[in-house]
Amino acid sequence: MGLQDTLKTLVHKSHLSDVSRHLKHRIEQGLEQRVKLAVTGLSRSGKTVFISALARHLQQSDQGLSLPFFSAAADGRIIGTRDCSHESAIPFPLQTTLAGLQASPPHWPASTDQLSEVKLALRYRRSPGLGRMLGEHTTLYLDLIDYPGEWLLDLPMLEWSFATWCRQQQALFFASPRLEASREWLTCQQQLDWLAPADDTQFQQLAHTFRDLLQQLREPPYCLSLLQPGRLLMPGDLSDSPLLNLFPILTDLPANPDQAAPDSLYSRLKSTYYAYREHAVRPFYEDHFRHFDRQIVLVDCLKTLNRGEACFTDMQQALNTLLHSFHYGHNSLLRRLVRPRISRVLFAATKADHVTANQHHNLDRFLQLLVESAQREIRFEQVETHCLAIASLRATSAAQAKLDGQYLSCLRGHRKDNGEEMALFPGEVPVELPRAEDWNSERFRFVDFAPRPLPVGPLRPEHHIRLDQALEYLLGDLLQ
């Protein structure tokens, strides 16, 4: 008896039980019975709401009511959905998030500060045809992860050395608007001797200053996206860890780094950088960000329109940088088993409910403008991409008002900050990049709306915008 227990603990310790589970998952993924969907997006782009809305709609998809463009659900081929998130060590708090959205008054979920997993099992009937030979009923497992968007921008650091990273950051910080915001920090850095020994308090103080600077750049009026290292903004389980005492050298790098004392700022930063990369970024990447099959990139276009050109270019650069961390391409059967690549990408402009319906097409085109170069890169790998304006959870309803004898389409909803009801014509979404002089504060007024309460009972198509088309594009071919 004792031997058996010892063996059991040994197996548990050596992660052997994990191996069989991993193997099973990999085989299922190879046979297209398990699909890992990458929900990619910078912070506050709506990942958590997207995942909860998706899970909720899929849970009700056997009723075939709320997703009219998702053909498996609309044809009534989905038999049932099971939430298997409890199998994961870090389950996604679906019930809590949904409860918040169903409460009265409802509220958006708080920013995600931890990684969590959603696992859904969809039991469906195959569509009539040759596939039926394999059996009429089958199951598709859908894996999603939710994580703080800030962490995503750390992924490119895996391929950069400390010197490269510093050079990248120099290029960023010596351009507007970072230059104006960080003047003090730059002068402070110029006075430092990188190679001289430095004590802990000075080092920590510098790190804190840099962290405050990043916080400041993230908030209005700057609203920048490309902020590294991301854990400084959202430490997760690393709060108070020495790994977070990290900042780039923005002056010229020391010419003779070999002479640096082991406790000099330069050596400390360099070793912290590599430690950060190995202990914070790599596990996140290896455990969760490889082996994706499909990807949806959520982009908050309205934020860039509200904030201006600097925010636009910064977000564009951030998206381009982070999409380099993913592998795109077609999958052969062997490839799928060994190392799958992303074979389909959807760029989605979230918060489509914050503009009037006649502007959705413009929002599509504006998104295309924002992700143009990223899309070109991906298309080069012969991977399908598509742009779509979506709203995972609709916060407004369409209305019209008579103004100066004309009917004006507008939105009706509740303000996010004070909960007051308001009606708004938020302006037109441009299809080209507005000129600098057009980009003034009067042109757009995209207000953040509070969510409308999500019903506890059956959902209807009016609770989302094009979530079903997004699903059809991403998963439709797997549910044949």
Partner 1 sequence: MNPTPDWKRPVELSPDALTDPDNSDSKPQISPVSAPREIPPALAQDTNDNPPDEVPVRAPARKRSRRWLWGALGVLASTAIGTEVYRLISWSNDIHPLLGAGFAALTFILTCALGIEVHRGLRGNRQLKQVHALQQQAQTLLTQSSHGNSTRLTRQLGRQYHGTVLQRELQSALQQLDSSYNDQEIVQYLDRHALSQADTAARRCVQRYSIESGVLVAFSPWASFDMLLVAWRNLRMLREVAAIYGIASGPLTQGRLLKQVLQNLAFAGASELSLEAGSALLGSSLTASLSARAGQGLGAGLFTARTGLAAIRLCRPLPAQHKESALPRKIAKSIVQQLTARQNDTL
Query: What's 83's DSSP letter?
Result: E
CA–CA distance from 230 to each of 45, 292, 330, 415 (Å)?
15, 22, 31, 30
Name the residue nearer to partner 1 (CB basis): 69 or 160.
Answer: 69
Query: Minimum CB separation from partner 1 for residue 421, in Å?
Result: 5
User: Which of residues 400 and 480 has its CB atom nearest to partner 1 in the complex?
Assistant: 400
CA distance 233 to 218: 9
Q: Which is nearer to partner 1, 236 or 426 (CB)?
A: 426
Please state the closest distance from residue 394 (CB atom) to partner 1, in A: 8
How many of the other CB atoms lie within 10 Å of CB of 235?
Answer: 19
- The minimum distance between CB 70 and partner 1, in angstroms, equals 11
Packed helices 47-59 and 467-475: angle between N→C axes, nearest 10 degrees: 80
Tell me how far, at minimum, the Cβ of 136 lies from partner 1, in Å. 17
Distance in angstroms (rounded) separating the CA atoms of residues 378 and 51: 24
- Cβ contact 55:121 at 8 Å: no
For partner 1, which is the closer residue by CB, 23 or 423?
423
Residues 94, 55: Cα–Cα separation, whole Å: 8
DSSP assignment letter at 442:
T
CB nearer to partner 1: give 64 or 106: 64
The conformational region for residue 427 under phi > 0 = left, psi -120 to 50 = alpha, else beta, is left
Instruction: Find the shortest distance in angstroms from Cβ 131 to partner 1.
Output: 13
Closer to partner 1 by CB, 160 or 425: give it.
425
Dist. CA 318–CA 156, nearest whole Å: 10
Binding site for partner 1 (CB under 8 A): 68-69, 74, 128-129, 352-353, 356-358, 360-361, 364, 394, 397-404, 406-410, 412, 421-428, 430-431, 434, 437-438, 440, 442-445, 461-462, 465-466, 469
At residue 126, what is the residue type?
A: R
CB closer to partner 1, 208 vs 412: 412
265 or 465, CB closer to partner 1?
A: 465
In whole angstroms, the minimum distance from the beta carbon of 462 to partner 1 comes to 6
Least distance from partner 1 to the Cβ atom of residue 313, Å = 21
- Minimum distance from residue 392 beta carbon to partner 1 (Å): 13
The total number of residues written for the chain in this structure:
480
Distance between CA 214 and CA 236 in Å, rounded?
16
CA–CA gap between residue 397 and residue 401 (Å, rounded): 13
CB 53 → partner 1: shortest distance, Å? 15
| Residue tagged 């012969």 (tokens) | 382
If the CB atoms of residues 126 and 466 are measured against partner 1, the closer one turns out to be 466
Residue pair 140/124 in contact (Cβ under 8 Å)? The answer is yes
CA-based R_g, the chain, Å: 24
Write the DSSP symbol of residue 454. P
Q: CA-to-CA distance for 111 and 43, rounded, in angstroms?
A: 8
Which stretches does DSSP call E strand in 9-58? 34-41
Angle between helices 16-30 and 2-13 (to 10 degrees): 50
